[in-house]
Amino acid sequence: MNITVEKTMEMPNAVLFARKLDAALKAEQKKRQHFYKIIDENRKMEFINGEILFQSPVKLLHNEATGNLFQLLKAYVSTNKLRFVGIEKILVSLTRNDYEPDVCFFGNEKSKSFTPKQMQFPAPDFVVEVVSDSTERTDRETKFQDYAAHGVREYWIVDPDKATVEQYLLQSEEYELLLKAKDGEIESIAIEGFRIPIRAIFDEAENLAALRTLIAD
């Protein structure tokens, strides 16, 4: 349900609703501060809608897809001096929630003030989530809405079991599906010039071939 300010103002109990919401958000912030105190660099932890979530170990397919895509993106970004690529343990802190995306990219404008010891980061320009049984709903619903609301320009959802990629681009504050495929090529909009074969995300030989091409170019 999409609750807008206009709809809320039509409620006769809008003030009481706002007070209850304010109290709930303040209580949630206390839990969030507790999350910051206990967060462990050796475990993948996220704070989502007031709950601390610990991620379970991933399948080999998930790990390989994440690593393959990171390797390609890191090589391209480093070669072209496009700034910073993060993998898995980068804590992205939005207005309400804290996520650790599988892969993310920050362009020069956002990353120019980053420091070597920084542990919390703003909304990236580009995010990839590799879905698993335990995270798919969050990746497709909560994070999908939250990344869009905070201006993440491009969002890829990678399904390692089906070997598919979905590419979403932010249009008028909502994501529009540009591509869903398991073969052919995919070209990023947020990272200019980054173009790879989709199979390079899932196949080691394809990955190495694509890596050589990216470095050579």
pLDDT at 16: 87
Report the residue count for the chain: 217
Backbone angles phi, psi at 201, to 5 degrees: -80, -30
Helix-helix angle 60-79:204-216, to 10 degrees: 10
Residue 94: Cβ-neighbour burial (10 angstroms; 0-12, 13-18, 19+): middle
pLDDT at 1: 47
pLDDT at 2: 62
Residue range 128-147, pLDDT digits in tens: 999 999 999 999 999 999 99
Domains of the chain and any CATH numbers: 56-216 (3.90.1570.10)
How would DSSP label each residue in 88-134? SS-EEE-SS-EE--SEEEE-HHHHTT--TT--EE---SEEEEE--TT
Q: How many CA atoms are closer than 13 Å to the CA of 31, on its beta-carbon side?
A: 17
Which residues pair with residue 166 across a beta bridge? 157, 180
What is the Cα–Cα distance from 133 to 127, expressed in whole angstroms?
A: 19
Per-residue pLDDT 10s for the chain (217 aa) are: 466 788 888 888 888 888 898 899 999 999 999 999 998 877 889 999 999 999 888 899 999 999 999 999 999 999 999 999 999 889 999 999 999 999 999 999 999 999 999 999 999 999 999 999 999 999 999 999 999 999 999 999 999 999 999 999 999 889 999 999 999 999 999 999 999 999 999 999 999 999 999 988 7
Q: How many CA atoms are closer than 13 Å to the CA of 32, on its beta-carbon side?
A: 17
Q: Nearest CA to 71 among 102, 100, 98, 95?
A: 102
- Dihedral angle computed from the Cα positions of residues 149, 155, 161 and 163, in that order, rounded to the nearest 10 degrees: 160
